Amino acid sequence: MSDPVTALDGAVSDAGIATITEVPLQGMITLRGDLSTTAVKNAATGVAAVDMPGQGEANCVENRGICWMSPDEMLVLCPYETVAANIELMQKTLSDAHALAVNVSDARASFRVGGGRAREVIAKLCPVDLSPDAFKPGMFRRTRMAQVPAAFWMRDEDSFQIICFRSQAQYVFDLLTVAAQPGSEVNL
């Protein structure tokens, strides 16, 4: 067994108007089920140690959290090394409830976009209202980033975390770098 690696080996771009950093390995579990049932809720919260988020929201603390993906899907975040144990724990909590918990940690790449102009950079690529009144920490959005699917949430006032498919990591990193090119401030 060798050490697992991320898609871009921690690539960083900080020459432009925002800093783009590939995030280290992050445990991610797709949980599909009836989100109104106690078993499914407990399966998610038991692993992430945060409350269930509402529709279009994410509750994240450090590298744990729950993101609302769809009316029957959550993305549960936990430390990378604990995924297998956590899926087992979730199965136990779910017992015989009809649900699906599956490891997708390696299927994704994740980036952090930071700096005062992070909102502008994302708004160049995603058809999302990113004004401070409309998109706030705690919200979660599945959308597209230029030509590929992506999802993001705000870690704090000045930084976003983006997840995309691993195979598209280079494309998304390059996109963000282009969107943050020097001199491209929107100045809203």
Closest distance of CB 161 from other proteins, Å? 18
* Secondary structure letter of residue 67 according to DSSP: E
When asked if residue 85 is in the footprint of other proteins (CB under 8 A), the reply is no
Rounded to 10°, the helix 83-94/38-48 angle is 160
52 token code pair: 């269930």
Give the one residue of 27, 33, 53, 114 binding other proteins; rule: CB under 8 A.
Answer: 33
Give the one residue of 124, 141, 153, 154 binding other proteins; rule: CB under 8 A.
Answer: 124
When asked if residue 1 is in the footprint of other proteins (CB under 8 A), the reply is yes
Phi-psi region of 146 (alpha: psi -120 to 50; beta: other; left: phi over 0): left
Cβ distance to other proteins smaller for residue 49 or 107: 107
3-class secondary-structure state, position 13: strand
Give the one residue of 51, 56, 92, 131 binding other proteins; rule: CB under 8 A.
Answer: 131
User: Strand pairing of 58-61 and 12-13?
Assistant: unpaired
Residue with tokens 């999802």: 151
Close Cβ partners of 109 (under 8 Å, ≥ 6 residues apart): 6, 7, 8, 22, 163, 164, 165, 166, 168, 169, 172
* Secondary structure letter of residue 80 according to DSSP: G
When asked if residue 72 is in the footprint of other proteins (CB under 8 A), the reply is yes
When asked if residue 184 is in the footprint of other proteins (CB under 8 A), the reply is yes
When asked if residue 92 is in the footprint of other proteins (CB under 8 A), the reply is no
Applying CB under 8 A, what is the total number of residues that bind other proteins? 54
Binding piece for other proteins, criterion CB under 8 A, among 36-44, 59-67, 120-128, 153-161 = 120-128
Give the footprint of other proteins on this chain (CB under 8 A).
1-2, 4-7, 25, 30, 32-33, 72, 98-100, 102-108, 120, 123-131, 133-134, 146-148, 165-171, 174-175, 178-179, 181-186, 188
